Amino acid sequence: MRVVFNRKKKLIATLLLLLTLGGIYAFNENDKYFQIAKNLDIFASFYKELNTYYVDDLPPEKLMRKGIDAMLEETDPFTDFVAEENLDDLKFMATGKYGGVGASIYTNGEWTSITDVYEGSPMDRAGVKPGDIIVSMDGKSCKNVAQEDISRQLKGAAGTPLDMVLRNPVTGQETNKKIIREEINVKAVSYSGIVKEDIGYIKMTQFTENSGIMVREAVAKLKQANPNLKGMILDLRGNPGGLLDEAVVVANVFIDKNKLIVSTKGKVKNWDRGYETTEQPVDTKIPLAVLTNHSSASASEIVAGSVQDLDRGVIIGQRSYGKGLVQTTRPLPYNAKLKVTTAKYYTPSGRCIQAIDYSHRSDDGSVEYVPDSMRKSFTTLNGRPVKDGGGIEPDTKVEPTYISQVALTLLRKQFIFDWATEYYYKHPGIAPAAKFALTDKDFEDFEKYLENKDYSYKTKSEEALEAFRNTAKKEKYYDGIQKELAELEEKMKHDKKQDLEKNKTEIKRLLEEEIVNRYYLQKGRIIKSLDWDNEVIMAANTLHNPALYKQLLTKK
């Protein structure tokens, strides 16, 4: 800490010297840069006096970080300070790589369990299974250790060892495992395959280095193995984005060479530029459907926006997030970084899909969505109307699928996860992921498993009724409607057993996905989920209907 403090004193002294020398120059009082220099001088002097005379010691690093965080509150949430110890997170966002063991975890009560094991990872090769409980790491007990601390210990430089003790969740037997950490590469394309017999499907989770090459290879392999493909689905749901350059490469898989995909414009005009496709595409003719939802952002929206604006394919699902901002990183002293928004990006039609106006704030500092009255209209290559300021609107909207309250509770309390673990140890093998299905007898066993479990919850209607009762009490109406409220509450009371039966299909699907994950890992989970995926079904039906597909791409 003393070294850090001395460095900070030198940094402040240097800053003060520069500011003093800056006084030699004739700054104009109205000059923005003079105001910056003036306030930096005040800030440095303020900190010096506060640190010297305040009655208690003030930790300089903590104090300065609060100042930085306060400044960042005036910017958008994508502009951020990245300390040296967090550079690995920044690297992961760009590359999809990190040093670790290749597993996901979840802490429930006293212990932390393995929830997912990545195929081919050190944990996978060591025979670690989802459901295994982490007892200790490097000789230190993991009981009552926070999940983020466990996660931090699992990560580390490639080649470093990790001694673990794992407990079987069913037998209770403990096993020693020596894991050698590796560079884990989270694949941008988590799955590619065939749905509905002749439709290619590619699930893309992020835009990291070489993700465009992965998509290109996946499309080429699907076409080679299935010469009679009727269409291709590119699934960008839940994809938060990543590298802009990779978005251009992905779009280039389906869009011809030398086509503008996106342009950027910012304060520094010399940085403004347009990004065009540079390679020969894999296929510009095959019918294409891009899936989006409210979590599809940034680079995902560049791909979806270019496909829509150039009428290369149809967008299916829900409106995308609406992030039309570009970030770059700038170096700071002591290996820190500034991730700063430097530009807005524009799709080929000229629209910026940024949905929230961070540049204009209310008096309370809040920001608002771009109102519909302020959104401008643009046209696609075929003359179809599209709008800016609100994400990418799908050509075919599909209502999102919401999980019932009972199913959500079973997931949150790990009952679905734990029962799937028990099922795995009772059944040496199951059918292939796409064909596996639980029987009614299996579901009855699950219901029995839940008999002594607490999965009580309040429905949304019950929560609304309780809020109404509290409001009525505050406004002195409660006595007059107390009887009616009691009758309504009685009618609304839910029976947990009844809720299980009512949502049986949904709960069975969640159980099947979790069980398949035990045998076929994440790839199996995705394959199984495609059976009842409404957006995928809608996309496949659209691609199987050439007349409908053409109609969606025609001027309205």
When comparing pLDDT for 94 and 226, which is higher?
226
pLDDT band at 16; cut points 50, 70, 90: very low
182: CB partners within 8 A, 6+ apart: 99, 100, 101, 102, 121, 122, 158, 159
Report residue 459's pLDDT band, with 50, 70 and 90 as the boundaries: confident
Average pLDDT taken over every residue of the chain:
90
Tell me what the mean pLDDT of segment 521-539 comes to.
95
Choose among 310, 283, 313, 446: nearest CA to 378.
310
* Mean pLDDT value of segment 269-291: 96
pLDDT at residue 19, as a whole number: 45
Q: Is the pLDDT of residue 11 over 60?
A: no
Report residue 26's pLDDT band, with 50, 70 and 90 as the boundaries: very low
Domain 97-185, CATH number (from 3.40.50.970, 2.30.42.10, 2.70.98.70, 3.40.50.300): 2.30.42.10
Q: Give residue 1's pLDDT.
A: 36
Query: Virtual CA dihedral for 24, 25, 28, 30, nearest 10 degrees?
Result: -90
Per-residue pLDDT, averaged over 538-556, amounts to 95
Note the pLDDT of residue 360. 78
* Statement: residue 555 has pLDDT above 90: no
Residue 288 in this model has a pLDDT that exceeds 90: yes
Question: What is the arithmetic mean of pLDDT over 204-210?
Answer: 96
Question: Could you name the CATH architecture of 189-400?
Answer: Alpha-Beta Complex (3.90)
**340 and 312 in contact (C-beta within 8 Å)?**
no
| Mean pLDDT within 175-182 | 96
Report whether 487 contacts 469 (CB < 8 A). no
Residue 192 annotated as catalytic:
no
Does residue 424 contact residue 430 with C-beta atoms inside 8 Å? no
Q: What is the pLDDT of residue 106?
A: 95
Residue 24 has pLDDT above 90, yes or no: no
Q: Is 423:438 a contact under the CB 8 Å cutoff?
A: no
Q: How many CB atoms lie within 10 A of CB 249?
A: 23
Catalytic residue of the set 211, 323, 528, 533: 323
Confidence of residue 207 (pLDDT cuts 50, 70, 90): very high
Q: Quick: pLDDT tens for 304-331.
A: 999 999 999 999 999 999 999 999 999 9
Q: Which of 298, 306, 320, 529 is catalytic?
A: 298
CA angle 331, 275, 323 (to 5 degrees): 65
How confident is the model at residue 497, as a pLDDT?
78
Task: Please give the pLDDT value at position 493.
Answer: 66
- What are 464-475's pLDDT values in tens digits? 888 888 888 888
Judged by average pLDDT, the poorest of 141-145, 237-241, 266-270 is 266-270
List Cα–Cα distances, 303 to 205, 207, 523, 551, in angstroms.
Answer: 13, 11, 24, 21
Position 28 scores a pLDDT of 55
pLDDT at 462 over 80: no
pLDDT given for residue 389 in this prediction: 93
pLDDT score, position 9: 47
Can you read off the two tokens belonging to residue 232?
A: 């291709």
Q: Residue 150 in contact with residue 138, Cβ under 8 Å?
A: no
Question: Minimum mean pLDDT among 152-166, 347-361, 378-392: which range?
Answer: 347-361
Query: pLDDT by residue (tens digit) across 396-443?
Result: 999 999 999 999 999 999 999 999 999 999 999 999 999 999 999 999
State yes or no: is 309 an active-site residue: yes
| pLDDT-wise least confident of 232-246, 334-348, 481-495 | 481-495
Residue 8 has pLDDT above 60, yes or no: no
CA distance 147 to 38: 45
Going by C-alpha positions, the residue among 468, 521, 551 that lies closest to residue 130 is: 521
- Assess whether 323 carries a catalytic annotation: yes
Number of neighbours of residue 244 by Cβ within 10 angstroms = 20
Domain ranges of the chain: 32-74, 97-185, 189-400, 405-457+494-538
The single residue of 309, 388, 395, 418 carrying the catalytic annotation is 309
Q: What is the pLDDT of residue 30?
A: 59
